[in-house]
Amino acid sequence: MNTYKIIEIKQSVFENNDKQAELLREKLKKDKTFLLNLMSSPGSGKTTTVLRTIEALKDELNIGVLEADIDSDVDASAVSKTGAKVIQLHTGGMCHLDAEMTRQGIEGLGTEELDLVILENVGNLVCPAEFDTGACKNAMILSVPEGDDKPLKYPLMFSIVDVLLINKIDAMGIFDFDIEAVKERAKKLNPNIKVIPISAKTGQGIKEWTDWLRNEVKNWNEN
Amino acid sequence: MHELGVIIEVVKTVEDFAIKNNITKIDTLVLQIGELSAMIPRYVEACYPAAVDGTMLQDTKLKIEILPGNALCRKCNKVFNIIENKGICPNCNIKDYELLCGREFKIKEIIAC
C-alpha cells in the first residue's frame, strides 16, 4: 500500500499574481510611469476613448498603449496612427491579462521615457476584475447601450475600479438607460468610485476624464 | 468560461511549490472554492484534464471543497448565508451586510505519494 502524505499549501490562487503585480508597480514607480488598466465589455468604445485620451494629453505626456486582445491587431493599428507608442498583446484565447503578461508588454514598450501607459484590457467584465495587472489605477467603461443593470450583474468589476466612465451618452435618448440608477448601484458597491459620463464620439465629458487622469499621473510620478 | 486560464495558474503555483519542497509525485490536489467566487466547480473539474496535460500534475486527482458565502448583517449582527437568503438578513429583512467569506479560491493542500 502506498503511503500518502498530505502537504498543506494554503495559498490563494491569486497570491502569485498579486506578488508580480506589486513588483511591477514598484518598477513603474521607479521609472516614473503611470499605468492605467482600462476594462470594459467588447464594443463599449475602449479604443475610441483611448484615441480621445491620447489626443487630449499627447502634447504634455509621453504616452504608450498596450492593446490586449485574443487575436488581431485592428486596435493597435488604429492607436498607432496617433503617434503613441503601441504594442499589441495576444492573450491566445485567455480572457484576461495577468501581471506577468502586463510586465512583458511594459518591457516591450520600454517605460523609461513614458509618463503614461494605457492598458486596454481584453473586452470582458468578468475575469479582468479578478486579476491585478500591476496597474496604478483601474478604470472601466460602461456604455449606454449595454444597460443600467450591469453593476448588478457584474458587481466585482464595479467594486474594484477607481473610475467608471459611462460612454455613449450621446445615445441616451435611444436607450432606456437610467444614469442615476447606475451611479447609485455603483456607489453602493464602491463608495469611492468616481463616475464620469462621456461621449468618446462627440468629446463630451472627455475634459473631466483627462483632468482626472492628468492629476493621477502627476501624483504618481511626483511622489 | 475563464476557468481554464485560472487553473493553468494554479498548476504553475503547485509545480513551483513541489519543486521548492522536493516533491516528485502528487496524487491529489485539493482546492477550496467559495460559493461566491467567479469560479464554477463544475467547470473547474471539466477543464482540469486540459490544464494539467503535460505538466507534473498530469494524472492527478482533483478534489474541490466548497466554502459557504456568509455575511454579517450590519443591523442585527446575524450571520447568514448569502445565497440561501438572497443577501437579505432573515432576522430583519434588510439587505445591508458585510461579507465574511465565500469569495475564496485557494489551493488548500496536495496529497503526495
| CB distance A205 to A196 below 8 Å | yes
Scan for cell 443600467, then name that residue: A148
> B30-85 pLDDT, tens per residue?
999 999 887 889 999 999 999 999 999 999 999 999 999 999 999 999 999 999 99
Report the gap between the CA of A1 and the closest CA in chain B (Å). 11
Cβ contacts of A19 within 8 Å, gap of 6 or more: none
Q: What's the pLDDT score for residue A65?
A: 94
What's the count of helices (H) and strands (E) in chain A, helices before strands?
8, 8
Q: What are phi and psi of A42, to 5 degrees?
A: -65, 140
Whether A1 has its CB under 8 Å from any CB of chain B: the answer is: no
Q: Is residue B42 part of a domain?
A: yes
Q: Which residues of B24-55 are buried (b: 16+ CB within 10 A; e: fewer)?
A: eebebbbbbbbbbbbbebeebeebbeebbeee
**Which residues of chain B make contact with A6, given a CB cutoff of 8 A?**
109-112
* Nearest C-alpha in B relative to A13: B106
The amino acid sitting at A18 is D
Domain residue ranges of chain A, discontinuous segments joined by +: 15-140+203-222
Q: At what angle do helices A99-109 and A15-31 cross, to 10 degrees?
A: 20
Q: Is residue B28 part of a domain?
A: yes
Residue A43 CB burial class (10 angstroms; 0-12, 13-18, ≥19): exposed
**Which residues of chain A make contact with B10, given a CB cutoff of 8 A?**
13
First to last CA, chain A: 62
Residue B25 domain boundaries: 3-68+102-112
* Cβ separation A13–B107 shorter than 8 A: yes
* Distance of alpha carbon A176 from alpha carbon A185, whole angstroms: 16
Q: Is residue B89 part of a domain?
A: no
Among partner residues A7, A13, A17, which is closest to B110 by beta-carbon distance?
Answer: A7
* Nearest C-alpha in A relative to B14: A9
Whether A92 has its CB under 8 Å from any CB of chain B: the answer is: no
Per the structure block, which three cell numbers stand in for A138?
483601474
Q: What torsion do the CA atoms of A215, A61, A48, A83 make, to the nearest 10 degrees?
A: 180
Q: What's the pLDDT score for residue A187?
A: 95
Identify the band that residue B1 occupies on the pLDDT scale cut at 50, 70 and 90: low
* Distance of alpha carbon B56 from alpha carbon A189, whole angstroms: 41
Q: What's the pLDDT score for residue A2?
A: 60
Whole-number Cα distances in Å, A220 to A35, A61, A136, A189:
10, 13, 8, 26
| CB distance A70 to A92 below 8 Å | yes
Q: How many CB pairs under 8 A join A and B?
A: 72
- Number of domains observed in the structure of chain B: 1
Three-state secondary-structure class, residue A138 = strand
The amino acid sitting at A162 is D
In the DSSP assignment, the letter for residue A218 is: H
Among partner residues B2, B6, B112, which is closest to A7 by beta-carbon distance?
Answer: B112
Whether A126 has its CB under 8 Å from any CB of chain B: the answer is: yes
> A43-68 pLDDT, tens per residue?
999 999 999 999 999 999 999 999 98
The amino acid sitting at B73 is C
E strands, A26-146, are: 34-40, 63-69, 85-90, 116-120, 137-143
Three-state secondary-structure class, residue A80 = helix
Q: Is residue B88 part of a domain?
A: no
**Which residues of chain A make contact with B109, given a CB cutoff of 8 A?**
6-10
Residues shown for chain A? 223
Class of the domain covering A15-140+203-222: alpha beta
Among partner residues B2, B9, B112, which is closest to A95 by beta-carbon distance?
Answer: B2
Identify the band that residue B2 occupies on the pLDDT scale cut at 50, 70 and 90: confident
Pick out chain A residues at pLDDT < 50. Answer: none
Q: What is the CATH number of the domain that holds B44?
A: 3.30.2320.50
Report the gap between the CA of A182 and the closest CA in chain B (Å). 18
Q: Is residue B83 part of a domain?
A: no
